Amino acid sequence: MISFDDFKANTEQVLARIAATCAAAGRSPTEVELLAVTKTHPAEAADYAARFGLNAVGENRVQEAIDKKPLTKAKLRWELIGHLQSNKAKLAAEHFDRVQSVDSPKLLTRLDQAAAERGRTLAVLLQINAGRDPAKFGAEIEETSRLIELALACTHLRLEGLMTIAPLSEDPAVAQRTFATLRELRDQYAAQFGTPLRELSMGMSGDLDAAIAAGSTQVRVGTALFGHRD
**Residue 13 CA: distances (Å) to CA of 164, 204, 228:** 24, 14, 17
Strand partners, 126: 102, 162
Residue 98 has pLDDT above 90, yes or no: yes
Half-sphere exposure for 201 (CA within 13 Å, toward CB): 29
Band (230; pLDDT cuts 50, 70, 90): low
Q: What percent of the chain has pLDDT over 90?
A: 97
Q: Alpha helix (H) ranges present in 78-170?
A: 89-95, 105-117, 144-153
Task: Output the CA–CA distances (angstroms, integers) from residue 84 to 89, 109, 168, in the order listed.
Answer: 7, 13, 21
| Distances, alpha carbon 180 to alpha carbons 31, 103, 184, 185, 216, in Å | 17, 19, 6, 9, 10
φ/ψ of residue 102, rounded to 5: -85, 120
Return mean pLDDT, the chain: 96
Q: What is the pLDDT of residue 96?
A: 98
Angle between helix axes 44-52 and 4-25 (nearest 10 degrees) is: 50
Does residue 60 contact residue 39 with C-beta atoms inside 8 Å?
yes
The pLDDT value given to residue 124: 98
Domain ranges within the chain, ordered by starting residue: 4-225
Global confidence as pTM:
0.96
Domain boundaries 4-225, corresponding CATH code: 3.20.20.10
Helices (H) and strands (E) in the chain, counts: 9, 8
pLDDT tens-digit map of 31-56:
999 999 999 999 999 999 999 999 99
The mean per-residue pLDDT over the stretch 16-24 comes to: 98
Residue 228 is predicted with a pLDDT of: 83
**How confident is the model at residue 73, as a pLDDT?**
85
- The whole-number pLDDT of residue 76 equals 95
Kindly calculate the radius of gyration of the chain based on its CA atoms and give it in whole angstroms: 17
